[in-house]
Amino acid sequence: MSILTEKFNTPYHSAPFTHIKNEDYLPAFKELIQRSEEEIEAIVNNPEEPNLENVIEALAYAGERLDVVSNIFFNLNSAETSDELQQIAQEVSPILTEYSSKISQNEALFNKIKKVYDEKEKYSLNEEQQMLLDETYKGFVRSGALLNEEDKEKLKKINMDLSLKSLQFGQNVLASTNAYFKHITHKEDLNGIPEPIIEQYAEEAKERNLEGWVITLQYPSYIPFMTYAENRELRKEIALANGKKSFDGGEFDNQHLIKELLALKQQKAELLGYTSYADYVLEERMAKSPAKVLDFLNELLTKAKPYADHEINELKALAKADGIDEMQSYDHAFYAEKLRKQKYDFNDEELKPYFPLNQVQDAVFGLADKLFGLTFEERNDIPKYHEDVKTYEVKENGEYKSLLYVDYFPRKGKRAGAWMTSYKNQYKKDGENSRPHISIVCNFSKPTKDTPSLLTFQEVTTLFHEFGHALHGMLANTQYPTLSGTSVKWDFVELPSQFLENFCYEPEFLKTFAKHYKTGEVLPDEKIEKIEQSKNFMEGYQTLRQIGFGLLDMNYHSRVGELEKESVKDFEDKYTKATQLYPGNPETAMSPSFSHIFQGGYSAGYYSYKWAEVLDADAFQYFKENGIFNPEIAAKYKVLLSSGGTKDPMELYKNFRGSEPKVESLLKRAFG
């Protein structure tokens, strides 16, 4: 009997990280898949007349233990991976894909689902039951239930290949990121870089048994270098290394995988009766069609381009004064920081002492208490997978609501970026409300022997962003695990995260936590004013950058035929050209490390960041008009968060706001 296959003997049945060995995973997956298949067989062989309870609900609850173990394994493969875990992932992924295909193509099971679906009028279903039935039926149809046997086999093979190749894509990006570092031995090469960052580079060198300083492609190392280093040649060299990630023709090159992944997705879409993979994906999104997404992105592009051009011209004037006739992309962060300093008289390093990580975390916890009545108590008896991780019991009115894991610092085995994830979903069964286990993973600068972890203002907003996702998970209050928390339409999922970022710019709130870690001095009013004023700094540039990613993603997933005739680089250049503000470089491409769409869940969905910005700008406008801590509006917003995927997202939004979101709210916030 494996530790993973039975209910965990830990507080709140949390993951027993400290007792799990790598060799436990494969046998556990095999046993739990068998168990889950037996649950499915029991549904299929039930002699009773098919109904909502014995088919649809039974299926929603099936495989719960397998889901928990899958979450543990794949979350660790992102946050604390090793060669051994990656090898296990290569073995496990096809087994899970086969299991999934087996269920979705089980004809006897689908016949029962279809019978309940066709006869739904005879049941008096509530809204959530109706949604579960519709989503279950559609899910099976979209997974090939109506295909003939030969095509089912083809789809099964495609899904297997997609699973393995997307996994390989991510592993290549991580390996490519870790393979590069720049060793610096002359301190003058670090001119312009603030001392705490130099200290961080020295620590990195020490960890590698080197004298001097080391810069890596991990964001807490890379971004400050590009922002502050006066040595333009070094900026160019390190930017080039970053732009070549998985695009250098070497062992970790992803160009072939991009073409293979997109070809497989197109085959899958055609097999299921769709023109393109984008059509297949968008059928289940708020946006509905590629044409609507492209119209949305191009409308934003038209409105944002003049602002972006103006911003870049300001930067070019600064660069020209330094003797640079043709500014390049690797100059952008450096001159943007210079301009920001000129305009708003502060830089990120100046602000960092006012944003020690513990204070920012306390602030976001306090906000959750003020808006939603949640409190957070650190627990030291809950197992964790790394000493950097902290665990909290979340309570509402003194009662257990959720577990929250936070994992803030970069490590060799952790992928870049920041994300929220779940180890266990919320659901109700047999009279019990089984609560969720949620995790936030980031890559902030580690504390040093003299200094706590200090966040840039952008990192402050990142923490609020991920915590917004976490609230969506922690507040979940639905009947079924498949409709719980962040199980919503993908272009709705970024609303809670982006909404919470707005509070970071509110002076009333900022003053409660932006305090110097040594003196306790509150961030001066003039700096807070500058933060507020700088909220939309380079907004045109950032908007074009996001639109570029969105256009590239949408075209990759709707025009794959063109990619057969041209290189990844040429395709990327063609569809991002309208959004490019600097000369291109033939040696770099971002697609081969575009993990969001080739490894994560954003295939044909990257536009959803901008789409959700319309929602979040409109939602926060509602708070602004009535008080940012308004309890009545917070209560309505809490209903939206706790409802998960039980209702159509536009209906949920209108119930909260009273009307559909207006794109003008975003334009007003972004460009005044």
pLDDT at 347 over 90: no
Question: For residue 601, what pLDDT is reported?
Answer: 84
pLDDT at 40 over 80: yes
Question: For residue 600, what pLDDT is reported?
Answer: 82
Question: If you compute the radius of gyration of the chain from its CA atoms, what whole number of angstroms results?
Answer: 25
Question: For residue 532, what pLDDT is reported?
Answer: 86
- Taking all residues of the chain, what is their mean pLDDT, rounded to a whole number? 95
- Integer angstrom CA distances of residue 502 from 298, 451, 509, 616: 25, 28, 10, 8
Instruction: Tell me the pLDDT band of 296, cut-offs 50, 70 and 90.
Output: very high
Torsion 599-601-605-606 (CA) sign = negative
Better-scored residue on pLDDT, 220 or 244: 244
pLDDT tens digits, one per residue of 74-124? 999 999 999 999 999 999 999 998 999 889 889 999 999 999 999 999 989
From CA 278, how far away is CA 276, in angstroms rounded?
5
pLDDT at 672 over 80: no
Catalytic residue (one of 466, 506, 572, 613):
466
At CB < 8 A and 24+ separation, what contacts does 8-13 make?
A: 10/382, 10/383, 11/379, 11/381, 11/382, 12/382, 12/393, 12/400, 12/403, 12/435, 12/437, 13/424
β-bridge pairing 432-434 and 399-407:
unpaired
Spatial contact of 616 and 499, defined as CB atoms under 8 Å apart: yes
Tokens representing residue 249 in the block: 């023709």
pLDDT at 346 over 90: no
Question: For residue 1, what pLDDT is reported?
Answer: 61
Compute the average pLDDT of residues 481-503.
Answer: 93
Triad 143, 486, 560: Cα angle to 5°:
45
**466 assigned to active site:** yes
Least confident residue range of 312-321, 384-393, 654-663: 654-663
pLDDT tens digits, one per residue of 191-228? 999 998 999 999 999 999 999 999 999 988 999 999 99
Over pLDDT 70: what percentage of the chain?
100
Question: For residue 664, what pLDDT is reported?
Answer: 85
**Ordered domains of the chain (ranges, CATH):** 11-104+106-146 (1.20.1050.40), 180-243 (no CATH), 353-537 (1.10.1370.40)
pLDDT tens digits, one per residue of 514-534? 999 999 999 999 999 988 888
pLDDT at 335 over 90: yes
Compute the average pLDDT of residues 373-398.
Answer: 97
pLDDT tens digits, one per residue of 554-573? 999 999 999 989 999 999 99
pLDDT tens digits, one per residue of 645-657? 999 999 999 999 9
Question: For residue 671, what pLDDT is reported?
Answer: 85
Give, to the nearest 10 degrees, the angle between helix 568-576 and helix 539-556.
Answer: 130
Over pLDDT 90: what percentage of the chain?
90
Question: For residue 491, what pLDDT is reported?
Answer: 84
pLDDT at 282 over 80: yes
Quick check: helix, strand or coil at residue 98? Answer: helix
Question: For residue 64, what pLDDT is reported?
Answer: 94
Compute the average pLDDT of residues 339-356.
Answer: 89
CA 395 vs. chain centroid, Å, equals 25
pLDDT tens digits, one per residue of 571-613? 999 999 999 999 999 999 999 999 999 998 899 999 998 999 9
Quick check: helix, strand or coil at residue 600? Answer: coil
CB atoms closer than 10 angstroms to residue 298: 13
